[in-house]
Structure 1
């Protein structure tokens, strides 16, 4: 069933619909780690040019980042033993997912926790005409906050919050928004989930 909420002020029509997402399993990153005394070799399968590989500490501070230059398989050696003792993680940011592998450094010894490798799927936004399709897959049913802002063409200094909701306890989420009416301007959709913020901007 579709629940229709009509905002006549801005002619912002939201149709809420739950559906099954297409599986992104075939797009998942495959990390292969090989350690020796001085260097860690990281191999990533099925990467694309423009994917972002980072090393971050336990507080999320970026210690290293690199844009993948070629589509296919990526291999590189890292000297992680020079890092201070502590907890870190590799992060591969792809089109629709972010994969992380945590590791620790202790007394010049690197230990990867492969069993703690995790993948989160980003909210996906597609625009077709006046219709905006939003989908998100979360195997752990993480909460997803959605905020939709509107800025009119007359250049209002503060974007107007048009819609806000937080979705909880849901693995597959799908939303459809229709942007229509006489009011023209820009829409910004801000997603918040699992400690990360994603933003999509749409001109209407």
Structure 2
């Protein structure tokens, strides 16, 4: 491992830290909901093919999921009244963000909490040569843990080794630039943990 990283404790050199201005979330609600006694009509604008729509309970268990098949406007009716009493969320997983809106079911009555609609921006990773650029927008300044692992490709019995970690806090716009000693000497994996979610980027 001594030759894997250049001039860096535990294997990675953080070249610089800077703030990047990213566009803020659109204030217009993504979810258009029409709710009556027996049926909920959900409309989503500007979706893309491959976006993932899910319904999850408060424990994160997925009880419904659907890949969006066509880009544009998505409309579908759901009967949510038969769900057990409790809290749930509609979640739309897009390229660089996740949109959520919570709702509750109580005695076959569905109530949406539109004031709690939220957007979680995913960490964005870009690789150029052996330099890795990371950026993330968090309007609520949620902390994000970054962990970088290295696996030696020349050793068939090598297990991923944690070579660098840090926690980014108290910032809406966070960016990092990391320089890998040699992208060809092994495989890297970057694990981001934020807002009770885990995002992974692999660099081969």
Question: What's the TM-score once normalised by structure 1's chain length?
Answer: 0.90
Q: Does 1:142 align with 2:130?
A: no
Deviations 1:23-57 (A, max 9, x none): 1536x871100012211000011111111100011
**Does the 8 Å CA contact 2:146/2:190 hold for their aligned counterparts?**
yes
Q: State whether structure 2 residue 185 is matched by structure 1 residue 184.
A: yes
Q: After superposition, what is the alpha-carbon deviation per residue over 1:36-79, rounded to whole angstroms, capped at 9, x for unaligned?
A: 22110000111111111000111111100011111111111000
Equivalent residue number for residue 127 of structure 1:
127
In 2, distance between residues paired with 1:8 and 1:88?
44
TM-score under structure 2 normalisation? 0.90
* SS state at 1:17 partner: strand
Q: Does 1:113 align with 2:110?
A: no
**Partner residue of 2:170?**
169
Measure, in 2, the Cα distance between the counterparts of 1:152 and 1:184: 7
Q: Do the aligned partners of residues 110 and 9 (structure 1) sit closer, same or farther apart at CA in structure 2, a change above 3 Å counting?
A: closer
In structure 2, the CA distance between the partners of 1:94 and 1:108, relative to structure 1 (3 Å rule), is same
Number of positions where the alignment pairs a residue of Structure 1 with one of Structure 2: 198
Cα distance in 2 between the residues matched to 1:13 and 1:183? 17
1:201 and 2:202 equivalent?
Answer: yes
Gaps of 5+ in 2: 1-5
Contact kept? 2:10, 2:163, Cα under 8 Å: no
Aligned CA-pair RMSD? 2.1
Alpha-carbon distance in structure 2 between the residues aligned to 1:130 and 1:181:
6
Cα distance change, pair 35–73 in 1 and its aligned pair in 2 (3 A): same
Identify the residue that residue 57 of structure 1 maps to in structure 2: 57
User: How far, CA to CA, are the matches of 1:41 and 1:182 in structure 2?
Assistant: 49
Q: Distance in 2 between matches of 1:181 and 1:68?
A: 39
